[in-house]
Structure 1
């Protein structure tokens, strides 16, 4: 699984998915499938993150942060979700996938939560339930600072769809 951070958002970091798929195939990736326009790619034989970032920069003029997550790790992250009851509204439940193991002060994370929000850090995934919606929360803007590592979030509907894509070549 390849996640790109900050592409096709508000007119910045424009990267058409067809061109991204072609770029990845040109780098040797196989079974390349994208989901929606926000940089979600299921693939096999993935090149190194640095190689992907450099190729995007050379071809599109910007360098998005990329995160590779193995299929087993993706499924494990989905299963480890501590807020399973929140899956009834999957767009309010998010997974922040971290580039490195966070060096988080969990008390600082908890202090940053508001209005019934919940967060739990398990390994390299921060699970975040925002009952009033991600757009109304101040927490996402603080996540990387609190965790001490780059991170990219996906709502649980996207996490589940990508898991489904892993199982359907």
Structure 2
């Protein structure tokens, strides 16, 4: 069994696209996932399974849309990949401003170039190791006015992307450990 985190994008924000965590846990258990728990209401589902990340992503995507009536982008990440992403973070800025964007597929060179051009003064972007399915951003000037922050969701051309601050990543690694 592999330990995973399913990272749901864009739920429970401003009272829209509500996915109660108790219902999310029930849904996951009904799919045969084991050791199911959630962390904060922003959509962090923790579980164990013998299935692949890809199969789990597809299964959760379909089940969430069926249960809640709207599509939810889901990126499933193994505990090992979360650990690698956390260990490789090159930034030591404000933990609320340093984020990891997780992708369902690795980014390409065009995406890398586009994001580097969008980054404003003070913002730093790092793409981690070759083939990684995550990237890092330090929003030193804050997220509220950042053009880069609004573009991160479009990073995954043929899949999904979702972002967590470094504190949340630390907590997910801890909870899965």
TM-score (norm 2): 0.86
State the shift of 1:135 in Å: 2.1
Q: How many residues align?
A: 164
Equivalences for 1:79-90 in 2 at 5 Å?
79-83=87-91, 85-86=92-93, 89-90=94-95
User: Is the CA contact (8 Å cut-off) linking 1:99 and 1:124 kept in structure 2?
Assistant: yes
Report the Cα distance in structure 2 between the residues aligned to 1:28 and 1:145, rounded to whole angstroms. 31
State the shift of 1:144 in Å: 4.0
Partner of 1:142: 151
State the shift of 1:48 in Å: 2.0
Say whether residues 1:165 and 2:175 are aligned partners: yes
Gaps of 5+ in 2: none
Tell which deviates more after alignment, 6-15 or 20-29. Answer: 6-15
State the shift of 1:52 in Å: 1.2
The 3 A distance-change label for structure 1 pair 146 and 43 is closer
Equivalences for 1:150-161 in 2 at 5 Å?
150-161=160-171
User: Per residue, is there more helix in 1 or in 2?
Assistant: 1
State the shift of 1:53 in Å: 1.4
Tell me the C-alpha RMSD between the 2 structures.
1.6
TM-score (norm 1): 0.90
Partner of 1:19: 23
User: Is the CA contact (8 Å cut-off) linking 2:64 and 2:71 kept in structure 1?
Assistant: yes
Equivalences for 1:66-105 in 2 at 5 Å?
66-83=74-91, 85-86=92-93, 89-105=94-110
Say whether residues 1:117 and 2:129 are aligned partners: no
